[in-house]
A and B are shown apart, each in its own frame.
Chain A
């Protein structure tokens, strides 16, 4: 069972993503801030990370950078309410950039694709 880490500081959204991804058959790890997220990446070695950008303690883009430095093969999906970070070149190392919506089909599809590639 693939293990994915969801980083999201909105508790209700985190809960939604967790439930939906579990329904998809993934093992789900959760983190509400950047520091916890990085800690989990290093200790639990998830197969994929879904990462919000505006989070507490450490900026999502910095977390992305650290994950890729730690292991560039872990796919990361940036999942932000804002489209603006698309033009920030530090977001380009992400494997996918999604703008948050209530329809999780794209999130699920991208997760599935990236896990298959690996």
Chain B
């Protein structure tokens, strides 16, 4: 709470007026109760506050810029390229990087520049969609569990306790075996157990908030249930969700790459970074550049997400340690 104190300040003990200033020159200032609540500075949301802190973290900002540039390339490079990701050209197969083919061509003469950016696009898309799906299921599950409480919460938590024991990657592989290969399948398979962490975090955060003074005060003042959720619980949970998403995206990209690498992910001629790394690995002796460029691309993306995620965590949740 901020006071507009200079003019309105009323001392507890009336000060004796100096002899040369007659008391009748003064008059008591009017006290307006609404002025006491006046907030001099503009209100910042928690996210804006976090942004201010994040801006100071140079490494995180650089990584954010790199990720934006990569995303733009992933969107536009395949469109602007004169080649497509699936067109084969047997006259130009296994060409090392040159001006015409900056990243070379593969064993079918497909342009690696186009394929790598197209693969990056698919990988980013899978990461984003999987993270959003986890967010959707996890937030609803966690919030319902925490808000209703009691027996419902107990049952929902037992279900989670059973699911956390499931090794994520193994189950995803099993599901990929029975489902037809494709982007949607991968996202669905990854979401079967992927949302559990998000649900746990959201539930823990809401439970923590529910017991805090400002929520009790709001309840005491008669805030309705819906307003309580939208005004007090959601804004204070957003930072936890954002941080979790920043770690869920690279994790989904990794899982997809892993699946494609062991051969249960996307099928040719579709490309993702995992497919490209797998192709490159098979051609390692003949055309090492086929492995190195997609490997660099995935490493760059993962490192940037990692640094940006750490930065966001420090910025949005300063109380949390490392």
Whether A associates with B in a native complex is no
Instruction: Spell out B's residues near A (CB within 8 Å).
Output: none
